[in-house]
Amino acid sequence: MTDNKERVKKSFGENAANYVMSEIHAKGKDLTWIVEEVKKHVPQPHLALDIATGAGFTAFALSTCVGRVIGLDLTTEMLQVAQRQAEQFQCTNVTWMIGDAENISLPDQLFDVVTCRIAAHHFPHPEKAFQEVYRLLVPKGIFILIDNYAPADPSVEALLNRVETLRDPSHGHVYTLEKWSQLLGQAGFSKVEELKKWENHVDLDPWFRRMNTPAVEREKVFEALNQATKKQQQTLGYDPKSSSPQIILRKCMWLAQK
């Protein structure tokens, strides 16, 4: 297992319970959009896979429109949280599986639907994960990817990824819209669409707390943001004079069909 995957296990293992309280993860409007797209494109989906399921919120959304769902995650502690959530919600058609998104121990052409929500930016090699998704989907099956994307300006992309890595050392990379779409196309999908784009204005303090970012790393984040150009700050939605500083995390929902 790579060093970054070990960091993912450590970061999310130690902070698994915090994700139950995360508004972005637990109650995002994109959960409704996922269900709508599944109903639109797959009339009678029997089996779905949610990659890097975390606390299970996407798997629970899928469970309302798919016969059976498997939630896969690298981190045991996250799946324990997901299982407790399933019991609380009385959700009986979701099962949980420990696994690596880049090397999934399941047979070819098994799933009607695969999802990955706000997680692929942690993968060391997202292209491998997307190839695995393609392998696992039945013909005409769909992959719904939701993740952050970086502005097209390379300097802002670099700054955003530095901030993300300082906040959470398990961070991999947030790519531009063009690059994410390119990676999906290279995995073999016949159709790749950017369905929706939106912004989350994230307060830095609770964002840090969710991953228990050490004070010294928080200071480095503010140092990086304060030293950025005014244009870079504006692009990231950062106001150095604000008493409650924020940054903008831009998100996109892609639909890729095999």
Give the Cα separation of 199 and 204 in Å (integer): 15
Residue 207 lies in a domain: no
Residue 91 lies in a domain: yes
Residue 11 lies in a domain: yes
Structural domain boundaries, residue 18: 3-150+170-200+249-257
Residue 214 lies in a domain: no
Q: Which amino acid appears at position 57 of this protein?
A: F
Residue 212 lies in a domain: no
Rounded (10°) CA dihedral 53, 47, 66, 199: 40
Residue 242 lies in a domain: no
CATH number at residue 137: 3.40.50.150
What pTM, to 2 d.p., does this model score?
A: 0.90
Give the Cα separation of 220 and 223 in Å (integer): 5
Residue 211 lies in a domain: no
How many domains in the chain? 1
pLDDT tens sequence across 154-208: 999 999 999 999 999 989 999 999 999 999 999 999 999 999 999 999 999 999 9
Determine the pLDDT at residue 4.
55
Residue 236 lies in a domain: no
Contact 107, 135 (CB under 8 A): no
Give the Cα separation of 142 and 111 in Å (integer): 9
Closest CA to 128 of 187, 210, 67: 187
